[in-house]
């Protein structure tokens, strides 16, 4: 487990579906935030430490959010355990976990409970990073991550320089960002780290 700021923390564990040869490392991070009195789990993979479960049980998250279609992870487990509402991409829910309820579809620009904002990162809804205004934090699923050397990079797309980099610069200009959180690699970074990543070659896997 690790703490980021007041009301914002997370945990890292090996992804149970990881296999040798994948272009990402086995350890991935999940995040939990309490904002405006509401607790949300973001891209939640069930922790493998009892103390993380104890902390979650004390908070009883009311929302389980996945920021990318293939980050549904253990959203159903959090919904069953806490009676939480699932939030995420409509098509991914229908294809992967249609029995998870209640469910609310999301899109870039939507505000979740607790004032958490879902953003357009320039990748045409492949991912909706979350901005946490109380903690001044920006949370990414895969759009920004660490390469195997531990360097923060933006995941490559054919429109990386034309659309993604300008969109991420606009996000930084529009929001007060102190913390940048990523699922893959070291989970906690700062605003300056993301600024530097925008000028690096993207991660191509």
Within a domain: 127 = yes
Within a domain: 119 = yes
Within a domain: 143 = yes
Model confidence at 40: pLDDT above 90: yes
Q: Which residues fall within 8 angstroms of residue 23, CB to CB, at 6 or more apart?
A: 205
Share of the chain above pLDDT 90, in %: 76
| CA separation for the pair 30, 4 (Å, rounded) | 12
Within a domain: 205 = no
Report the domain count for the chain.
1
Residue 117 CB neighbour total at 10 angstroms: 17
Mean predicted lDDT score pLDDT of the chain: 92
Q: What H or E segment, with its residue span, contains residue 77?
A: helix 75-82
pLDDT average, residue stretch 69-86: 92
CB 64 within 8 A of CB 41: yes
Within a domain: 204 = no
37-49 CB burial, b ≥16 within 10 A, e <16: eebbbbbbbbbee
Domain that holds residue 96: 2-198
Within a domain: 33 = yes
90-114 CB burial, b ≥16 within 10 A, e <16: eebbeebbeebeebeebebeeebbb
**What is the model's pLDDT at position 94?**
85
Inter-CA distances, 96 with 66, 75, 80, 127, 183, Å:
12, 11, 16, 17, 21
| pTM, full prediction | 0.93
Within a domain: 98 = yes
Give tens-digit pLDDT for 166-201.
999 999 999 999 999 999 999 999 999 999 999 999
CATH of the domain at 170: 3.60.15.10
Q: What band does 15 get if pLDDT is binned at 50, 70 and 90?
A: low
**What is the model's pLDDT at position 149?**
86
Within a domain: 203 = no
């Amino acid at each position: 487990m690790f703490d980021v700021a007041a009301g914002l923390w997370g945990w890292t564990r090996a992804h149970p579906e990881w296999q040798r040869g994948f272009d990402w490392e086995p350890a991935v991070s999940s995040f939990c935030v309490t904002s405006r009195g509401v607790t949300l789990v973001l891209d939640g993979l069930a922790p493998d430490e009892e103390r993380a479960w104890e902390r979650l049980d004390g908070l009883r998250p009311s929302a389980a959010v996945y920021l990318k279609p293939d980050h549904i992870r253990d959203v159903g487990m959090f919904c069953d355990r806490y009676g939480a509402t699932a939030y995420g991409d409509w098509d991914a829910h229908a294809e992967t976990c249609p029995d998870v309820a209640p469910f609310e579809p999301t899109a870039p620009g939507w505000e979740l409970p607790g004032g958490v904002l879902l953003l357009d990162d320039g990748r045409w809804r492949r991912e909706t990073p979350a901005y946490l205004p109380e903690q001044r934090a920006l949370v990414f699923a895969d759009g920004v991550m660490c390469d195997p050397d531990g360097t923060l990079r933006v995941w490559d797309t054919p429109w990386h320089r034309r659309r993604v980099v300008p969109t991420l610069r606009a996000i930084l200009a529009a929001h007060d960002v102190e913390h940048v959180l990523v699922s893959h690699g070291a989970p906690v970074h700062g605003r300056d780290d993301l600024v530097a990543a925008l000028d690096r070659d993207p991660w191509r896997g």
